């Protein structure tokens, strides 16, 4: 069986879907591997390194023979046209709101998988791209904030005077938020955090940060069975906003990471809140690709909103591509391994497997995932 590792075509996608390590692993699983020339360059993996680990370097035309196509982003219409019917495509598919693209993949006869729909169960932890990428994004958000902040983060007591510690507030204490807390703490900042899930309180405290939230009855019931946030009531949002507004006015850096699966990102920081921050304050919006948590955030740049530098970089993990690719590629190969029969070393999908069921978007010419099946068809 042939695996094709594509060079990403979406602008600014720096990651790649295979590493030297995962090419070796796939060889061991019995695959032949073709890596599109230059695919690893933005992640600092040379073609020669892939070759030395057992891959052949090819061109986009090689995708036509592939049984498995590994990508970072959902294939474009042009890319899809180059794949054979029946091929397996695995990527971060960003399926919500992109139903038409899913229909295109179905019509092309592709069996496609969205890595971000991987269930968050113990067995699938090593395939969890949301976690592997969010963890790096949380780290990088603090680094980007520090880079545009005009002051130092740690307290410094010097002969020339004392520099106070920066106050950093993290909104949303999931995987990204918790890593942001840890990173800001390592840089010596004074860190606080908020979340709508009660379980986050203890995790925030265990990292040495202060937890700030309205802890009413709704808050205590705010977690879904899957461990995700629910959309909160208008009443709760208003109470939380008042508390947050007070808190934010004393902060130097705010990092927002709040997401609700399948919904637009909740708006957490208003212009008024930014206005109340001190001059030169920084806000980083990790939810910018899903509409943003911060009012006035601009996709792809640092916007100056009410005197605050609002960082709106998408694909934050992609800003440390070598690390992001290494972890993403490992997630992919671990999932691919579940599709291989160990004895015959051949590809065989077990459509009853819960990981396959949870992530499969299209198969046999149809959109098959229950969240995206068109009820009118």
Which residues here bind ligand NAD, judged by CB under 6 A? 120, 125, 128, 130-131, 134, 171-177, 194-197, 199-200, 227-229, 232, 257-261, 266, 268
CB of 123 to ligand NAD, least distance (A): 9
Q: Produce one character per residue of 35-65: b if its CB has 16 or more CB atoms within 10 Å, e if not.
A: bbeebbebbebebeebeebbbebbeeebbee
Q: Which residue has its beta carbon closest to ligand NAD?
A: 174
CB of 71 to ligand NAD, least distance (A): 21
Query: Is there a contact between 163 and 152 (Cβ–Cβ < 8 Å)?
Result: yes
Q: Which CB, 259 or 332, lies closer to ligand NAD?
A: 259
Query: Is there a contact between 294 and 323 (Cβ–Cβ < 8 Å)?
Result: no
CB of 260 to ligand NAD, least distance (A): 5
Q: Which CB, 56 or 271, lies closer to ligand NAD?
A: 271
In sequence order, what are the residues at sequence separation of 6 or more whose Cβ sits closer than 8 angstroms to the Cβ of residue 246? Answer: none
CB of 33 to ligand NAD, least distance (A): 28
**Which residues are catalytically annotated?**
120, 125, 128, 131, 228
- Provide φ and ψ at 303, rounded to 5°: -95, 145
Q: Produce one character per residue of 323-353: b if its CB has 16 or more CB atoms within 10 Å, e if not.
A: bbbbbbbbbbbbbbeebbeeeeeebeeeeee
Considering only CA atoms, which of 150, 8, 6 is closest in space to residue 70? 6
CB of 55 to ligand NAD, least distance (A): 30
Pairing of strands 282-285, 253-256: parallel
Considering only CA atoms, which of 263, 286, 80, 93 is closest in space to residue 177? 286
Q: Which CB, 95 or 174, lies closer to ligand NAD?
A: 174
Q: Which CB, 145 or 232, lies closer to ligand NAD?
A: 232
Query: Is there a contact between 360 and 351 (Cβ–Cβ < 8 Å)?
Result: yes
Q: Which CB, 189 or 229, lies closer to ligand NAD?
A: 229
Provide the β-strand partners of residue 90: 70, 113
Q: Which CB, 104 or 140, lies closer to ligand NAD?
A: 140
CB of 218 to ligand NAD, least distance (A): 12
């Amino acid at each position: 069986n042939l695996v094709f590792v594509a060079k990403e075509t979406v602008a600014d996608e720096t990651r790649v879907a295979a590493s030297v390590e995962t090419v070796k692993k796939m060889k061991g699983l019995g695959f032949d591997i073709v890596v599109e020339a230059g695919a690893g360059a933005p992640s600092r993996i040379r073609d020669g390194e892939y070759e030395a680990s057992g891959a052949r370097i090819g061109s986009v035309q090689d995708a036509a023979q592939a049984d498995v196509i590994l990508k970072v982003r959902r294939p474009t219409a042009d890319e899809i046209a180059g794949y054979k019917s029946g091929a397996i495509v695995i990527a971060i598919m960003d399926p919500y709101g992109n139903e038409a693209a899913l229909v295109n993949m179905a019509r092309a006869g592709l069996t496609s998988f969205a890595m971000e729909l991987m269930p968050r169960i113990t067995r699938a932890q090593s395939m969890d791209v949301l976690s592997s990428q969010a963890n790096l994004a949380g780290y990088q958000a603090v680094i980007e904030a520090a880079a545009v902040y005009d002051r130092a983060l740690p307290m410094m007591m010097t002969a020339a005077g004392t520099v106070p510690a920066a106050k950093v507030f993290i909104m949303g204490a999931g995987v990204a938020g918790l890593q942001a807390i840890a990173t800001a703490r390592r840089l010596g900042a004074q860190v606080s955090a908020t979340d709508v899930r009660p379980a986050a309180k203890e995790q925030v405290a265990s990292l040495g940060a202060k937890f700030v939230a309205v802890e009413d009855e709704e808050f205590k019931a705010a977690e879904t069975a899957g461990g995700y946030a629910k959309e909160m009531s208008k009443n709760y949002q208003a109470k939380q906003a008042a508390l947050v507004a007070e808190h934010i006015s004393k902060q130097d850096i705010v990092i927002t990471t709040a997401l609700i699966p399948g919904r637009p990102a909740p708006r957490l920081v208003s212009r008024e809140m930014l206005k109340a921050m001190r001059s030169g304050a920084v806000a980083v919006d990790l939810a910018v690709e899903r509409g943003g948590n911060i009012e006035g955030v601009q996709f792809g740049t640092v916007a100056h909103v009410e005197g605050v530098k609002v960082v709106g970089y998408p694909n934050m993990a992609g800003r440390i591509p070598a690390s992001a690719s290494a972890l993403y590629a490992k997630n992919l190969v671990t999932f691919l391994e579940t599709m291989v029969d160990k004895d015959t070393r051949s590809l065989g999908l077990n459509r009853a497997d819960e990981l396959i069921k949870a992530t499969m978007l299209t198969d046999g010419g149809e959109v098959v995932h229950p969240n995206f099946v068109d009820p009118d068809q």
